[in-house]
């Protein structure tokens, strides 16, 4: 077994005084908090289920974006280095691990809603959960996931804002800003893929499971593909709405 492919640092939950690490409890805490907020919005505020779900998602988008940016800033020197961002032990980046647990809790909660009435997001959620859980198992990639988080969540924040304020101007602003952010995401993804390639070639200074670089490649490409497909869908709608004026009403119905 060569350097950069050993399994000596596989993640395992560590008990401290018989208890799980504090950050781990962010998973059930986030799941419960999102579920309670959904119920409050449904039964106390009188919102319909779909609107309540979108409000909970908006709260997550805001918190995850802010948290992800803070983690990026806190560990900016490591983010600049492909190898450290991807394959340095996640346990070295406590903020990134906490953010990851927060996201796992949210996506587990929201997958319930997606399974019931909005299955078009199922692939996106499964890719996200797979990325976070594989990072947990290998004890790597949490920092890169934090960067993935703020980039993708800021796009989701744009979309949620548009859904709350459905105007022509807000739709155009969403399409332009979302597309620009996906271009940045593509640039970041190329950096991730380069780091994964270097790891496969044995040029990493860190230890990780032999499958980790391949998982990194597959999940990053999947996440990028989902985001690019979503951007392309709305760019086509924008094209039909403003360039092919005859299809404008149909495009508005599809939003």
Question: How far, in Å, CA of 134 to CA of 142, rounded?
Answer: 10
Alpha helices in the chain (DSSP H): 26-43, 49-74, 76-80, 82-87, 94-117, 122-138, 142-164, 168-200, 212-242, 248-254
pLDDT of residue 188: 96
For residue 244, with 0-12 CB atoms within 10 Å meaning exposed, 13-18 middle and 19 or more buried, which class applies?
exposed
- 248 in Cβ contact with 240 (< 8 Å): yes
pLDDT of residue 26: 92
Report pLDDT digits (tens) over 41-55: 888 766 787 788 888
pLDDT of residue 144: 95
Nearest to 83 by CA among 189, 7, 196: 196
- 142 in Cβ contact with 100 (< 8 Å): yes
pLDDT of the chain, 255 residues: tens digit per residue: 334 444 334 434 343 344 456 688 999 999 999 999 998 988 876 678 778 888 898 999 999 999 999 999 999 999 998 889 999 999 899 999 999 999 999 999 999 988 887 788 888 888 889 889 999 999 999 999 999 999 999 988 888 888 778 888 888 889 999 999 999 999 999 999 999 999 999 999 999 999 999 999 999 999 899 899 989 998 898 888 877 664 544 444 455
DSSP string computed for 222-254: HHHHHHHHHHHHHHHHHHHHHTSGGGHHHHHHH
For residue 191, with 0-12 CB atoms within 10 Å meaning exposed, 13-18 middle and 19 or more buried, which class applies?
middle
pLDDT of residue 60: 94
């Amino acid at each position: 077994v060569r350097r950069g492919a050993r399994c000596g640092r596989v993640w395992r939950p560590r008990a401290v005084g018989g208890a799980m690490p504090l950050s781990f409890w962010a998973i059930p805490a986030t799941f419960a908090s999102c579920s309670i907020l959904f119920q409050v919005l449904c039964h106390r505020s009188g919102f319909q289920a779909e609107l309540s779900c979108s409000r909970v998602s908006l709260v997550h988008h805001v918190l995850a974006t802010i948290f992800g940016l803070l983690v990026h800033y806190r560990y900016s020197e490591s983010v600049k280095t492909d190898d450290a961002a991807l394959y340095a032990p996640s346990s070295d980046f406590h903020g990134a691990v906490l953010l990851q647990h927060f996201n796992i809790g949210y996506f587990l909660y929201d997958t319930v809603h997606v399974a019931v009435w909005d299955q078009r997001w199922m692939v996106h959620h499964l890719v996200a959960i797979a990325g976070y859980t594989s990072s947990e198992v290998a004890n790597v990639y949490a920092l890169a996931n934090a960067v993935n988080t703020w980039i993708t969540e800021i796009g989701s924040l744009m979309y949620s804002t548009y859904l709350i304020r459905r105007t022509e101007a807000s739709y155009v602003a969403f399409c332009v800003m979302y597309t620009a952010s996906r271009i940045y995401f593509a640039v970041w993804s190329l950096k991730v893929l380069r780091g994964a390639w270097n790891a496969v070639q044995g040029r990493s200074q860190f230890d990780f499971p032999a499958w980790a670089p391949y998982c990194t490649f597959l999940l990053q490409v999947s996440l990028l593909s989902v985001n690019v497909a979503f951007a392309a869908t709305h760019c086509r709608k924008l094209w039909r709405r403003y360039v092919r004026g005859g299809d404008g009403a149909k495009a508005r119905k599809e939003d």
